[in-house]
Amino acid sequence: MTEPRRLAVLRAIVEDYVATQEPVGSKALVERHALGVSPATIRNDMAALEEEGLIAQPHTSAGRIPTDKGYRAFVDGLPAVRPLSPAERRAIDRLLGNGEPVDLDEVLERTVRALAQLTHQVAVIQYPSLARARVRHVELVQLAPRRLVLVLITDSGRVEQRSVEIPPDAPEVVADLVTELRGRLNAATASRRSDEAVAALDGVVATWSAARPEDSAAASVVAAALRSALDATREERMVLAGTANLVRGAGGFSASVAPVLEAIEEQVVVLRLLAEMADDPASGVSVRIGREIVHSGLSDAAVVASGYGSGGEVVARLGILGPTRMDYPTSIAAVRAVARYLSKVLAP
């Protein structure tokens, strides 16, 4: 489809259908949009759009509705990500700017709830993966002569905590040993990715065992705890909000909403989908519509997603899921704005 007027007609059909949930006819287009042509010309354009598979007639004597292909042409034809309105900016400030978040869990919980409220869709945020994150700091705290707590903090803001028990046949831990071991662990792992940090731990244990064989058992169990915290093969995590929006908006789905809910419950499906979506370099957002989503349960849905991270590096993704009949310009703008907000919060 190359004719600008037909693109304008398609854009008008999409906008009206999203707003009214009713098939759109040529008379409504003439009344609501300044297309500058006669109703007969609009009918001819609608016939051409239908022939191209961009719109469809749900039943005889009805108006037209966009197809997945039509939504895709509409999204691809958007001139740019529209700026947020002052009201939308105030809403983001109100929802996200209420006090300083104290940890990553709180940041993501607050952010996903805000995204769901802004878009009236299901919102999902993937936790930063330790596979892509770098070690910021390792803390080692003594609770008792044979009990320590190890805390791993990554540059993405993720915190992992492990309890460490010193074997009963090993000497009790003293404060100087804790301080020295903490220093060596940070020297070996700071600013490294998880796989690099894991590889460096063997050297720490070997060096420690050679210099202080009496404390080799303590070094080994602490290193094992840090390996566990750094384990990049653990199950990915995500946080979800706004499922009620999906149910309230069930009229946007041509069939039952049940398969969509089932797909969302299988978190691995959503996580895999987010991982497969690559952001458009110009907009910083990616959109999958209808049958572009491989999972059969989501063939009647659309997903708008964007990456977030710190230091210019994407560490995870966030997005919204809803019916193909969604307000794409507003959704794209909101997802990009929230992703940028989250990246700023996580910046070192």
CA angle, 180 then 182 then 185, to 5°:
110
Which pair of tokens denotes residue 326?
Answer: 């969604």
Secondary structure, 3-state, 31-63: HHCCCCCCHHHHHHHHHHHHHCCCEECCCCCCC
Indicate the class that CATH gives domain 135-230: alpha beta
Residue 250 has pLDDT above 70, yes or no: no
Residue 303 has pLDDT above 80, yes or no: yes
Helix (H, G, I), strand (E, B) or coil at 232: coil
CA distances in angstroms from 329 to 19, 197, 233, 326, listed in the order given: 13, 42, 37, 9
Residue 296 has pLDDT above 80, yes or no: no
Which pair of tokens denotes residue 104?
Answer: 């990553």
Q: Which amino acid is at 58?
A: P
**Distance between CA atoms of 254 and 171, rounded to whole angstroms?**
68
Residue 312 has pLDDT above 80, yes or no: no
CA distances in angstroms from 58 to 7, 61, 140, listed in the order given: 21, 9, 64
pLDDT number for residue 102: 56
Which pair of tokens denotes residue 162?
Answer: 């492990």
pLDDT number for residue 233: 43
**Distance between CA atoms of 92 and 86, rounded to whole angstroms?**
10
Instruction: Output the CATH code of domain 4-76.
Output: 1.10.10.10
**Distance between CA atoms of 272 and 276, rounded to whole angstroms?**
6
Residue 249 has pLDDT above 70, yes or no: no
Q: Which amino acid is at 344?
A: K
Per-position DSSP letters for 158-216, written without gaps between them: -EEEEEEE--TTSPPP-HHHHHHHHHHHHHHHTT-BHHHHHHHHHHHHHHHHHH-GGGH
pLDDT number for residue 280: 83
Q: What is the pLDDT of residues 170-201, one digit of tens each?
A: 888 888 889 999 999 999 999 988 888 988 98
pLDDT classification of 236: cutoffs 50, 70, 90: confident
Give the rounded percent of residues in the chain with a pLDDT score beyond 90.
40
Element (H, E) at 96: helix 86-96
Average pLDDT over residues 253-262: 78
Q: Which of 2-11, 117-126, 180-189 has the lowest mean pLDDT?
A: 2-11
pLDDT number for residue 310: 72
Half-sphere exposure of 45 (CA within 13 A, CB side): 25
Q: Which of 96-110, 141-155, 275-289 has the lowest mean pLDDT?
A: 96-110
pLDDT number for residue 48: 94
Q: Which amino acid is at 99?
A: G
Average pLDDT over residues 308-332: 88
Q: Which of 213-227, 241-255, 282-296 has the lowest mean pLDDT?
A: 241-255
Residue 299 has pLDDT above 60, yes or no: yes
pLDDT classification of 317: cutoffs 50, 70, 90: very high
Strand extents, DSSP E, the chain: 55-56, 65-66, 122-126, 135-144, 147-154, 159-165, 238-241, 286-289, 301-310, 313-323
Q: Could you identify the residue written with the tokens 């299988």? A: 266
This prediction's pTM: 0.75
pLDDT classification of 84: cutoffs 50, 70, 90: confident
Q: Which amino acid is at 290?
A: G
Helix (H, G, I), strand (E, B) or coil at 79: coil
pLDDT number for residue 225: 93
pLDDT classification of 335: cutoffs 50, 70, 90: very high
pLDDT number for residue 12: 94
| 261-317-105-225 Cα dihedral, nearest 10 degrees | 110
Each as own residue / partner, the long-range contacts of residues 54-60 (CB below 8 Å, 24 or more positions apart, any chain) are 54/1, 54/10, 55/10, 55/13, 57/23, 58/23
CA distances in angstroms from 280 to 108, 283, 328, listed in the order given: 23, 6, 15
pLDDT number for residue 100: 59
Q: Could you identify the residue written with the tokens 């259908």? A: 17
The mean pLDDT of the chain is: 86
pLDDT number for residue 246: 82
pLDDT number for residue 80: 78
pLDDT number for residue 183: 93
**Distance between CA atoms of 318 and 85, rounded to whole angstroms?**
21
User: What is the CATH superfamily name and number for domain 86-129+236-346?
Assistant: GAF domain (3.30.450.40)
pLDDT number for residue 97: 65
Domain ranges for the chain? 4-76, 86-129+236-346, 135-230
